[in-house]
Amino acid sequence: MPKSSGSKPRATRTVNVSPNQVVSANQLAKMKFSTLSLAGKFGKLLGKPYKPFYLMIYGQRFHGKSSVALLFADLLVKCGLNVLYVSNEEGVKGSLQEKLLRLGISNPIDFVENYNTSQFKGYDAVFLDSTQTVGMKPDEFKALKKRFPNTSFVLVFKANRDGTSKGGTDWEHDVDAIMHIENQSATMEKNRFPGGSTETIKIF
Tally the C-alpha atoms within 13 A of residue 170's C-alpha that lie toward its C-beta. 9
Residue 52 domain flag: yes
| Helix, strand, coil share of the chain (percent; to 5) | 30, 25, 50
Q: Which residue has the higher pLDDT, 17 or 139?
A: 139
Residue 178 domain flag: yes
CB 181 within 8 A of CB 34: no
Backbone phi, psi, residue 68, to 5°: -65, -40
Residue 166 domain flag: yes
Residue 162 has pLDDT above 80, yes or no: no
Domain tally, the chain: 1
Residue 73 domain flag: yes
Whole domain around residue 143: which residue ranges? 35-202
Residue 28 domain flag: no
Strands 83-87 and 125-129 turn out to be parallel
Helix H or strand E segment including 134: helix 131-134
CATH code, 168 = 3.40.50.300
Share of the chain above pLDDT 70, in %: 90
Structure confidence at residue 6 (pLDDT)? 44
Task: Please state, rounded to an integer, the average pLDDT across all residues of the chain.
Answer: 88
Any residues with CB less than 8 A from the CB of 124 and at least 6 apart, and which? 51, 52, 76, 81, 82, 83, 150, 151, 152
Residue 19 domain flag: no
Residue 112 domain flag: yes
Structure confidence at residue 15 (pLDDT)? 52
Tally the C-alpha atoms within 13 A of residue 50's C-alpha that lie toward its C-beta. 14
Q: Which residue has the higher pLDDT, 31 or 155?
A: 155
pLDDT tens string 42-76: 999 999 999 999 999 999 888 999 999 999 999 99
